[in-house]
Amino acid sequence: MPLSSKHLLGLYSMPVEDINLILDTAVTFKEILERPIKKVPTLKGITVVNLFFENSTRTRLSFELAEKRLSADTLNFSKVGSSVQKGETFKDTVRNICSMKVDMIVIRHESPGAPQYLTRITDAKVINAGDGRHEHPTQALLDIFSIKEKLGKVEGLRVCIVGDIAHSRVALSNIFALTKLGAKVSVCGPKTMIPLFIENFGVKVYHNINKAIAENDVLNVLRIQLEREAGGSIPALREYREYFGINNERIEKNNPNVLILHPGPINRGVELSSEVADGPYQIILDQVTNGVAVRMAILYLLGTQN
Ligand code: CP
């Protein structure tokens, strides 16, 4: 069964059947990744370029590994060190790369809508690896895969996204997909970090972290995005940690069964204490492991359809 689109631009408009197809396919790839020989010939002859205009560790390496595990030919582009720094435009950069006969593009860009724009100027299949504050669909899919793997389901679970919702593409993609899958989604943070009218997406709003911990099965904790001017939304990081930081004491007092996720990178000692980041309540590195399987599933489903 193919996906309904030849691109993966976001989860807002993705049918729930497509989300389930990706999650189910990722289970198969996770099994392959646990074998002694982790490589399959599925995308032999397909060329994928990872086009990263913004910094990344997890997403970029995870895509590159997923492509290699599927036997695709992989090219890596970073804005730093490229001719963009000599003044070449985004459009010229992409058109030059596509002239090398690229089949798929994985793009991270600071501008919301950059992946959509790419679909208008190339024939390649496009995967959004994070566009500004808009969406980070593959992160949300790997978060949901990890929740499902750990708790056995998503439907009916109470999932709270904590932190800097206003500057987060991970929050939006999670909200769109989790609500489609029947989870009860909420957000928690200071008023300055919660977008107005977010309730219109069907989410509950908390401003009290203890209550959010007590009333939810899962907390997906976000990083304070200092590079997106989030620092202006709170008086001080110390104050954020005091009111919203998650530590063992808060978890043990309010809900020792809560499951903690974090997309990374972590600001240790701000949104999560180190004891939580490395402790028994979290599955942060499982998320990273699962990211390879989920991205293999997406590359396979898009790469093998017409
Ligand atoms: N979670 C995530 O997108 O991390 P990177 O910025 O390191 O890719």
Residue range 53-94, pLDDT digits in tens: 999 999 999 999 999 999 999 999 999 999 999 999 999 999
Q: Which of 56, 169, 172 for mutating ligand 1's site (highest number of atoms within 8 Å of CB)?
A: 56
- The neighbouring-strand residues paired with 50 are 76, 106
pTM over 0.95: yes
> Using a 6 Å cutoff on CB, does residue 59 contact ligand 1?
yes
- What distance lies between CA 148 and its chain's CA centroid? 15
Q: What's the 188 CA to ligand 1 centre distance in angstroms?
A: 21
Q: How confident is the model at residue 216 (pLDDT cuts 50, 70, 90)?
A: very high
pLDDT number for residue 225: 73
pLDDT range class, residue 290, cuts 50, 70, 90? very high
For 152-187, b where at least 16 C-beta lie within 10 A, e where not — what string?
A: eebeebbbbbbbbbbbbbbbbbbbbbbbbbebbbbb
Cα(52) to centroid(ligand 1), Å: 11
CB distance 20 to ligand 1 below 6 Å? no
Please give the pLDDT value at position 231: 60
